[in-house]
Copies of this chain bind each other. A is one copy, B any other.
């Protein structure tokens, strides 16, 4: 059973999940003879039981959701706070699911047809809707690690859903920051960012009727890119179904441009959204943050909250839009 420990200074919760250390790493294992990717069609028996799937051609599937074999959090256990000396901890209660985005090992998300990416988006919404029925779950984090430098252990295109009994500190700080802005100016900061960026134009990477992708003004990482819905919605799972295609298109364009300019792209993609049990909010607006991890750069900043970015967001957008390759 994983354990959730609270840092006594920050109030930051950390998951201590020793069994996850045992998970295979395809970047090593993939080179060994006889290695079989557990996410490929025909290897369904290598994953834990299926939670959800979408039918593919013939008897196959086109998308599967399975439990993570090496979960960061597990369904059993109590969410009771326990003390040990001056410290606090609780059981690592929660859910950890994997969305296998395609049966095809080698097709990256941005290379998939728009309709398949829209399937992934709709599946995220559907799973959050199901998971939040458990009142112990306070936050559902949807994310995708792609590539070795981003901490991915498997190559096969997949994303992850972690449902947890508290909201991470960073999420709460983001929501409080947006609430402060709303109190001061009476507007949603993300709505203001959409307006400002559409006017300024030089940080825009992709745009369609419903979504805007930009390199944010205070980008922490080189080529950091956010995808924001143009219309205000606080919870990701409340996104209208009719927008799934537009989000898929924005994702394909954005990831496609990043992959074209950044050789061997690794990235972390994170859906930022409100805690699932909270009501709709005027001050917070869900969005996606994509953080490319350029090889061996900026290890320091990630641990300190002190960021130095050597590519201005204006330069990053210009490079991405020109299709030019960026040399480290």
Contacts and interface: CB of A to CB of B under 8 A. Distances in A.
B193 A8 contact: yes
Given A310-B17, A310-B21, A300 B268 contact: yes
Copies of this protein in the assembly total 2
B85 A8 contact: no
A85 B214 CA distance: 16
Contacts of A200: 85
A298 interface: yes
Contacts of A151: 296-301
Contacts of A301: 151
A307 B12 contact: yes
B300 A143 contact: yes
Interface string A35-73: 000000000000000000000000000000000000010
B307 A8 contact: no
Contacts of A14: 218-220, 307-309
A229 to B, nearest CB: 16
Categorize the interface residue count of chain A: 35 or more
A168 interface: yes
B85 A308 contact: no
A129 interface: no
Given A15-B309, A220-B14, A306-B170, A181 B300 contact: no
Contact of A169 (B18, B178, B305): B305
Contacts of A72: 308
A186 B174 CA distance: 29
12 contacts: A9-B190, A13-B218, A14-B309, A16-B312, A19-B310, A87-B217, A150-B299, A152-B299, A170-B305, A270-B300, A289-B303, A291-B303
- Ranked nearest first, the 7 interchain pairs of A and B with the lowest CB-CB distance are A170-B305, A302-B302, A151-B299, A21-B310, A7-B218, A5-B218, A168-B306
Given A148-B296, A168-B305, A270-B303, 16 more contacts: A5-B217, A8-B218, A10-B177, A13-B218, A14-B220, A14-B308, A17-B308, A18-B312, A25-B328, A85-B199, A87-B196, A141-B306, A168-B306, A293-B299, A302-B302, A302-B303
